[in-house]
Chain A
């Protein structure tokens, strides 16, 4: 039909315009600004010790928070999809809380609990640990913000596939661990990978919650987003954009991985 073709091109035009203004243009300007003062300035910004330290901190946070998210996410998804209990709806709502509440508030919650004036702050300090304005606080705040990603990817898969296969495995003499390893895990592996990718992307880029608990100590508790913010506020615009390209590059890799996994998934299903 001719009219539907017209509508199609009209809609495509709108999307090109929209993506051009909101995605492509800012990306181009970011790259242009990052390399504006030449490759030397760009590399100097990137190999600056404080930048490298920020990158290292980001990776440390990821190394701690992703496995924990993975573990609790899978436990939570299995609990909700396979068992009946009274507080189920409350649990489901709590899982979505990090998505619905502002990240700044997430950070604030941890200060109120672990800060020096907080409920557990004194006790933790007496034990000789520091949570707030240190790496543990950043990890905690990041987990809080990224926890829902894995549950939300795995839960629908488990609910859609039902538990008949697990029951069958049960009647065939498998124990719970064997059932998880041989039956449930292969079912959820794509959802799991997808959740890990999404939550890694968020871990690397999280700003709001981390900003409150980190204390912005240069070369100590600055993550990459905090470092970029700081550079920008110190009028080192080119350096800020240069460091930004690390995160953009990371986001790009993430998206490629996502595409790749979707393709693999489609292949394994056909």
Chain B
């Protein structure tokens, strides 16, 4: 089922949570709503679920306006950050709840519950209570419960937010495979860009209630539409500088008005002084990964982050306190939408 979000605005007292947000989700797509806390992503998800009503704007499910249809008639599946499992019910009772309230006969219910238990690989724990499960298991039960009565849309509110880093990674991959299998249109809220990029077909970036950019992970990472997106996607070095014949020239004086955005992996690093290279001192090295993260300080005390491959780091034999020379390979400027 496709979803159209048309010009949604929502205010909480005087706080503008969403302002004129519009975009379309295609049938079977998995979309992430990505943004910092307070960006309005959860509010938007709750509006789609019917748990909140927008002040203005419309939501269409398969071209039908459902803005004023109550939650229980929308046939959605909602997964909460803190699972919201019914704590006095067993795993199978939790999963079968939506079928029970809809009056599905016991036999049919049991069959569907078993299917779902297999889908989320929890058949052996069907008689357990939520308190007897781990975080990852709880979230899988919550997902199975949300899927029980064949929802047209699956909405996930920071589904991995309360889990350990390792479990989170596993579950992420698992969710992507599950989505491939069941193909239900899904929208997931997250504040973790890695998660959004790994799981979703397209990513919607929200900031202060406004849509900043929508696109595939690739588009968003390589063509960020605004300084906000650039900064949000990862540590970025901001320098004052100027553009000369299509080349970015850094200047260490802050008098220059143009801001250059340079990603940590977009630096050339050299041990010899060369033209246009800036001098920096290595302050800290984190080599515990295939990409070595280096913190530096320029001669005018500006902090700088540079990522280089581990092999290069070995070859150059870099050490804390060494002086090196840097030049940006690629820089972005957002003044007057001018991107080089």
Contacts and interface: CB of A to CB of B under 8 A. Distances in A.
Interface of A: 164-165, 167-175, 178, 182-183, 186-187
A173 B98 contact: yes
Contacts of B72: 170-175
Question: Which of A171, A178, A183 has the most chain B CB within a 10 Å cutoff?
Answer: A171
Those 6 A-B pairs whose CB atoms lie nearest each other, nearest first: A172-B98, A171-B78, A168-B84, A164-B84, A174-B101, A186-B88
A3 to B, nearest CB: 40
Contacts of B102: 173
B101 A173 contact: yes
Nearest to A166: B84
A173 B149 contact: yes
A172 B80 contact: no
A241 B149 CA distance: 65
5 contacts: A165-B84, A165-B85, A167-B51, A171-B78, A172-B146
Contact of A171 (B77, B82, B85, B87): B77
A174 B75 CA distance: 11
Nearest to B102: A173
A182 B101 contact: yes
Contacts of A178: 101
B260 interface: no
Question: Which of B71, B82, B102, B149 has the most chain A CB within a 10 Å cutoff?
Answer: B71
Contacts, number: 61
Contacts of B187: none
B23 interface: no
B101 A170 contact: no
A175 B71 CA distance: 10
Given A167-B78, A172-B72, 8 more contacts: A165-B87, A168-B78, A168-B80, A171-B76, A172-B148, A175-B72, A186-B88, A187-B88
Interface string B76-102: 111010101111100000000110111
A169 B273 CA distance: 66
A183 B145 CA distance: 15
B56 to A, nearest CB: 22
A169 B97 contact: yes
A172 B82 contact: no
B49 interface: yes
Contacts of B100: 182
Contacts of B86: 165, 168-169, 182-183
A164 B82 contact: yes
A172 B51 contact: no
A172 B97 contact: yes
B95 to A, nearest CB: 10
